């Protein structure tokens, strides 16, 4: 492997190379691509349409069946070769190629089933995920395949002949087999396969349910808050917590409706937890958490609990002070209704930060259009890593929505590193989460060429208007930088094996470290060069010059409700790229709540449900009479 990461480039003398800070009066190609509304593409009646992500078979939903059948046929060939060849380094290469063949279909389908606007594509992708997932579970318990790898590592001479990277990857593959029940008899292995398939289905169903917007009948809410939500006939549609809304009643309504308990979600969650427990005990673990944590840095649930308890103790006093400050702020602004409620902390904490910085949040909004932030990222990546972002025009049929942007990531000496598809804007039926999806992992091919990684960054930013681009709040900007950190991890991790490429790596830097480029103002030589362009009202395509307002430290620190990163992984661990990799990264933007005010498990398991009419409506009307 040519160094662990390309980002080992020396940073010495950075300040001396940067020169004086300048303010540009026009957008770079990257800035313009994200600040200018996309124009409708002319219909090409004679040109050939590409498939999604340039995959020819995915011009239509039926292509997923073709893709999965090809992948499964290729899998059979690779399994036969791995089982027939004598053990050696080639065994590990075959396992990695096997993992890649499955992941290239499963990863792409995993994204399409969630994000594609057309139901036919989503359904076809869902079926492909299920088909590949079932095949993976069977491979997990293939004794002959397991033995071909076990023989390699059991032979001390052969194992010692492997280079460190190859040996580590082989050990990871073997570990994945062993925690999946490869040691069980035939009947129990079949039972483990069935449980794993069921767990994958339940996980998918539950996770999709948590992202769905919730409808409530309009008469349950005071009329004055209707315009804060989408209105569909006699209903309002709540798609998030509205944590930064100034109106207490809007935040309360969003919180109570969006997190309202749903019996279907609860049942799904209970069944999921039950099957996880059955699987863990079947393969010899005390609990599912013991199984999930084996081989990780945490190692055991006991270690996790000790860490959380120590953290809670250390932060308890500081947390109580924070909440006292928030109570004081609410008392000052709303003395008639001063009790701090579960929907209040993100909003009032952002007010306190803004007050301390002596800058109104709206004062720096015009400096942080989406184009300015992307332009700034391009500047920082270039100066820190020698990487540039280059806008490319997608081919017809390559993307799933007109406003998706395609970026090529190019290194100054290594050349093209990979591609990032930016799906940044809100649309109907799009999950309301900020995510990173791996579409294709990087690896060295058999012919020596490098398979370039492809990822998608999915945000939920408001659409630009006719007269103004999308302006980011500090929370939105922090999420953008956070997700771009994941994307660059995928681009820069030039590993030989796709099994450990990008986000499949076992250890990532803490989230705060990935965000320091945004939070440290002098990283680009004394200022946020590239993030300084002001967007003046009435001029859509070009930014005017101007400096950040006085007292802009708050903007540089990223004011606003923090976006807490999270992740989920598929349940069982065959071939870490498909099964254990944190394929989707989530940033919910939800603030922390004090003990006793947190969201209950039932509330977290909410989905689309009919709100309890009389009780909830009466509560909102009482709250409205106190606040008005």
How far apart CA 590 and CA 564 sit, in angstroms, is 7
How far apart CA 33 and CA 423 sit, in angstroms, is 13
- Given a contact cutoff of 8 angstroms between Cβ atoms, the answer to whether 283 and 192 are in contact is yes
Q: Two tokens at 50?
A: 């590409």
How far apart CA 419 and CA 403 sit, in angstroms, is 16
Q: What is the phi/psi pair of residue 253, to 5°? A: -60, -45
Which DSSP symbol is given to 541? S
- DSSP reduced 3-state for 369: strand
Torsion of CA 536, 542, 544, 545, to 10 degrees: 140
Give catalytic status of residue 48 as yes or no: no
For residue 617, give every residue at least 6 positions away whose Cβ sits within 8 Å of its Cβ, in sequence order, or none: 219, 220, 221
The dihedral built from the CA positions of residue 410, 414, 419 and 422, taken in this order, carries a sign that is negative
DSSP letters, 551-589, are STHHHHHT-SS---EEEE--SS-STHHHHTS--EEEE--
Which DSSP symbol is given to 503? G
Burial class of residue 501, CB neighbours in 10 A (0-12, 13-18, 19+):
buried
Pairing type for strands 454-461 and 415-425 reads: parallel
- Given a contact cutoff of 8 angstroms between Cβ atoms, the answer to whether 609 and 133 are in contact is no
Distances (CA, A) of 33 to 79, 232, 370, 609: 45, 32, 10, 39
How far apart CA 582 and CA 559 sit, in angstroms, is 28
Helix%, strand%, coil% for the chain, nearest 5: 55, 10, 35
Distances (CA, A) of 27 to 34, 35, 73, 456: 10, 9, 49, 24
Catalytic residue among 478, 483, 532, 571: 483
Q: Two tokens at 162?
A: 């492997």
- DSSP reduced 3-state for 164: helix
How far apart CA 430 and CA 4 sit, in angstroms, is 36
Sheet strands (E) in 358-414: 387-392, 405-411
Distances (CA, A) of 328 to 52, 246, 608: 53, 16, 36
How far apart CA 566 and CA 546 sit, in angstroms, is 37
Would you name the residues annotated as active-site residues? 483
């Amino acid at each position: 492997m040519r160094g662990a990461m390309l980002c080992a480039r020396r940073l010495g003398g950075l300040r001396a190379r940067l020169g004086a800070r300048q303010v540009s009066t026009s957008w770079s190609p990257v800035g313009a691509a994200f600040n200018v509304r996309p124009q409708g593409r002319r219909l090409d009646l004679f040109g050939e349409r590409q498939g999604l992500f340039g995959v020819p078979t995915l011009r239509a939903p039926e292509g997923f069946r073709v893709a999965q059948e090809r992948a499964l046929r290729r899998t059979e060939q690779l399994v036969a070769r791995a089982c027939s060849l004598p053990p050696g380094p080639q065994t590990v290469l075959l396992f990695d190629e096997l993992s890649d063949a499955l992941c290239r279909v499963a990863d792409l389908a995993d994204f399409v089933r969630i994000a594609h606007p057309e139901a036919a594509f989503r359904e076809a992708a869902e079926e492909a995920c299920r088909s590949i997932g079932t095949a993976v579970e069977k491979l997990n318990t293939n004794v002959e395949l397991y033995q071909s790898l076990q023989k390699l590592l059991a032979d001390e001479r052969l194992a010692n002949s492997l280079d460190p990277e190859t040996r580590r990857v082989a050990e990871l593959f073997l570990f994945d087999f062993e925690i999946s029940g490869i040691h069980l008899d035939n009947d129990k292995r079949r039972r483990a396969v069935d449980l794993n398939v069921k767990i994958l289905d339940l996980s998918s169903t539950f996770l999709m349910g948590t992202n769905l917007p919730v409808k409530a009948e309009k008469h349950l809410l005071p009329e004055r808050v209707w315009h804060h939500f989408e209105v569909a006939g006699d209903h309002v549609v709540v798609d998030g917590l509205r944590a930064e809304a100034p109106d207490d009643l809007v935040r309360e309504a969003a919180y109570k409706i969006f997190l309202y308990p749903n019996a279907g979600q609860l049942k799904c969650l209970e069944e999921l937890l039950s099957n996880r427990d059955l699987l863990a005990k079947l393969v010899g673990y005390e609990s599912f958490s013991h199984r999930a944590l084996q081989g990780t840095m945490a190692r055991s649930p006991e270690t996790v609990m000790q860490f959380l308890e120590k953290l809670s103790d250390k932060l308890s006093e500081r947390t109580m002070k924070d909440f006292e400050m928030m109570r004081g702020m609410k008392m000052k602004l709303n003395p008639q209704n001063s009790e701090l409620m579960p929907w209040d902390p993100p909003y009032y904490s952002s007010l306190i930060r803004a007050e301390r910085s002596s800058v109104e949040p709206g004062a720096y909004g015009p400096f942080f259009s989406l184009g300015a932030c992307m332009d700034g990222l391009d500047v920082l990546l270039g100066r820190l890593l020698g990487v540039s972002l280059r806008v490319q025009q997608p081919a017809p049929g390559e993307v799933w929505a007109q406003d998706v942007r395609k970026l090529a990531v190019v290194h100054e000496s290594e050349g093209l590193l990979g591609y990032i598809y930016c799906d940044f804007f809100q649309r109907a039926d799009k999950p309301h989460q900020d995510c990173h999806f791996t579409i294709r992992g990087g690896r060295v091919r058999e012919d020596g060429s490098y398979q370039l990684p492809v990822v998608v960054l999915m945000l939920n930013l408001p659409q630009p208007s006719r007269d103004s681009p999308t302006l980011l709040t500090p929370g939105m900007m922090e999420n953008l930088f956070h997700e771009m950190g994941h994307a660059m991890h995928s681009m820069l991790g030039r590993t030989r094996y796709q099994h450990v490429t990008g986000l499949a790596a076992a250890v990532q830097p803490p989230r705060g470290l990935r965000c320091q480029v945004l939070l440290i103002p002098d990283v680009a030589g004394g200022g946020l060069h590239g993030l300084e362009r002001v967007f003046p009202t009435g001029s859509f395509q070009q930014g005017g010059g101007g400096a950040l307002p006085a007292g802009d430290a708050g903007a540089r620190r990223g004011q606003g409700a923090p976006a807490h990163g999270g992740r989920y992984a598929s349940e069982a661990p065959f071939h870490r790229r498909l099964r254990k990799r944190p394929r989707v990264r989530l940033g919910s933007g939800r603030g922390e709540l004090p003990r006793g005010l947190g969201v209950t498990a039932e509330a977290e398991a909410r989905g689309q449900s009919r709100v309890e009419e009389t009780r909830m409506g009466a509560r909102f009307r009482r709250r409205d009479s106190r606040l008005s």
